[in-house]
């Protein structure tokens, strides 16, 4: 008996753990952190940083000497000249050659230095792009998170409204039985209840779709048991609306990532112009070459007159390697005179890109100013709309209670009661809509002011 109880307790514990795991509710911070860790676009941007780092190593390598070695071994088979008789005969000879060369840029119009500076700027730009990607994803997650909360509260409103009408149906049946209201009013209540069922189904589907959207944004495999914490309030916690739009814009200019990206691209374009101009200047390259050769053919023996009197085996490999070696070194100056306008066209093309980058910085600054002022105005308007919707809801609730009392005593028909109830339902929806619209727009305004979506 004790074993059965023990086994039952284990099953109960496992079920409890499984249930808790399935019903885990995600906070906004958890959602954002998970998305930043698993998002595919962020992983791709991180690879761009690695690519920029590799490019920097290539720019550093241009300052180092280049060293190349070569070697070859050949067989000559067939008709060759005999070194003893001077006659052509079929024979096989072997020949080995080896060499190495070293080159180093002494002066290249500062192209190497500017290439390294541009590579460093490219790494900075790639990091800014990563930050921008993370910020965009955080905003998207926050928006999707708030959409789930809105749909959850909207579902509660629709369920509560259906529950009220279910009670109203019971009450209307009693009033019909008592002869207080006509049977047509009862049928109207039944029709309203059927409409409420449809609204609940629609609200459930909207909630399911919003959860799916957020789960996909987080790269989750399953969303059936996915849920979020309902702890978001419509409050200006950081008192951002007490700031002026000018103050927010000044703060945004100092730290907004998109403006930093545009400024970095401008600096990269400036370095590209300097590199292109370097192509018009002379280049000076230092070089050193070494080569040697080894033959495996017999060596002719000659007398004092130079006549071939016989042959002997070739000298050893390393003897020939040392005896036959040769070296050369020096410097090579190259002056561009005419190259089909390619160098000059590169300069002009890079200057055009520089002008585009300057315009992009100006445009980004204007866009940022417009976005900040628009976000401030939207947040103010969202706050006013939310406050007005709360006042309207209170009035609609009082009007509905008054209409219900009149209906219960037969002084109002079901049509007028349904109208009052519809207005109440719309007012409740307006409160929810304006609440989450206000929350999100406050988040955007804080975002421009430098307050992160989530605080670590």
Q: What is the pLDDT of residue 23?
A: 57
Query: Which secondary structure element, helix H or strand E, spans residue 402, and what is its range?
Result: helix 342-408
Which of 165-169, 312-316, 330-334 is modeled with the greatest confidence? 330-334
Say yes or no to pLDDT of 431 above 80. yes
Say yes or no to pLDDT of 10 above 60. no
pLDDT in tens, 346-383: 999 999 999 999 999 999 999 999 999 999 999 999 99
Q: How confident is the model at residue 14 (pLDDT cuts 50, 70, 90)?
A: very low
Strand 25-26 relative to strand 227-228: parallel, antiparallel, unpaired? parallel
CA-derived radius of gyration, the chain: 42
Say yes or no to pLDDT of 391 above 90. yes
Taking the C-alpha atoms of residue 121 and residue 366, their distance in angstroms, rounded to an integer, is 24
What's the token pair of residue 163? Answer: 């529950």
Tell me which residue has tokens 């002066």: 107
Say yes or no to pLDDT of 312 above 80. no
Contact 361, 263 (CB under 8 A): yes
Domain boundaries, the chain: 25-64+108-282+344-449
Q: What is the pLDDT of residue 263?
A: 96
Q: Which residues contact 393 (CB under 8 A, 6 or more apart)?
A: 424, 427, 428, 430, 431
Taking the C-alpha atoms of residue 122 and residue 265, their distance in angstroms, rounded to an integer, is 8
**Please, where are the H alpha helices in 68-110?**
none
Which CATH code fits 25-64+108-282+344-449? 1.20.1600.10
Taking the C-alpha atoms of residue 316 and residue 310, their distance in angstroms, rounded to an integer, is 19
Q: How confident is the model at residue 322 (pLDDT cuts 50, 70, 90)?
A: confident
């Amino acid at each position: 008996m004790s074993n059965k109880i023990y086994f039952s307790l284990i099953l109960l514990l496992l079920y409890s753990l499984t249930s808790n795991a399935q019903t885990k509710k995600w906070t906004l911070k958890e959602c954002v952190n998970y998305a930043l860790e698993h998002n595919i676009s962020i992983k791709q941007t991180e690879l761009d940083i690695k690519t920029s780092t590799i490019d920097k190593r290539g720019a550093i390598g241009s300052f180092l000497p280049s060293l190349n070695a070569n070697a070859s071994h050949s067989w000559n088979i067939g008709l060759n000249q005999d070194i003893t008789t001077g006659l052509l005969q079929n024979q096989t000879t072997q020949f080995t050659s080896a060499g190495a060369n070293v080159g180093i840029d002494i002066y290249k119009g500062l192209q190497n230095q500017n290439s390294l500076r541009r590579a460093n700027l490219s790494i900075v730009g790639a990091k800014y792009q990563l930050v921008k990607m993370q910020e965009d994803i955080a905003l998207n997650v926050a928006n999707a998170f708030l959409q789930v909360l809105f749909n959850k509260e909207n579902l509660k409103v629709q369920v509560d409204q259906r529950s009220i009408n279910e009670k109203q149906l019971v009450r209307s049946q009693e009033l019909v039985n008592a002869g207080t209201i006509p049977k047509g009013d009862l049928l109207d209540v039944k029709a309203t209840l059927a409409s409420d069922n449809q609204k609940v189904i629609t609200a459930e589907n909207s909630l399911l779709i919003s959860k799916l959207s957020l789960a996909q944004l987080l790269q989750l495999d399953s969303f059936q048991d996915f849920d979020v914490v309902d702890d978001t309030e419509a409050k200006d916690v950081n008192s951002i609306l007490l700031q002026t739009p000018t103050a927010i814009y000044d703060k945004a200019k100092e730290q907004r990532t998109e403006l930093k990206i545009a400024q970095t691209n401008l600096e990269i374009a400036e370095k590209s112009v300097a590199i292109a101009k370097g192509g018009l200047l002379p280049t000076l390259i230092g070089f050193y070459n070494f080569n040697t050769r080894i033959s495996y053919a017999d060596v002719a023996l000659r007398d004092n007159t130079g006549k071939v009197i016989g042959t002997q085996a070739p000298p050893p490999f390393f003897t020939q390697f040392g005896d036959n070696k040769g070296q050369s070194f020096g410097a090579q100056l190259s002056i561009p005179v005419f190259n089909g306008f390619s160098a000059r066209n590169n300069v002009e093309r890079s200057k055009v890109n520089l002008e585009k980058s300057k315009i992009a910085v100006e445009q980004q600054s204007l866009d940022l100013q417009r976005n900040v002022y628009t976000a401030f105005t939207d947040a103010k308007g969202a706050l006013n709309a939310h406050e007005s919707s709360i006042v309207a809801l209170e009035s609609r609730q009082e009007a509905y209670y008054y209409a219900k009392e009149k209906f219960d005593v037969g002084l109002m028909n079901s049509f007028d009661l349904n109208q009052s109830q519809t207005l109440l339902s719309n007012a409740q929806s307006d409160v929810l809509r304006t609440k989450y619209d206000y929350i999100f727009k406050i988040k955007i305004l804080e975002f421009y002011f430098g307050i992160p979506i989530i605080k670590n």
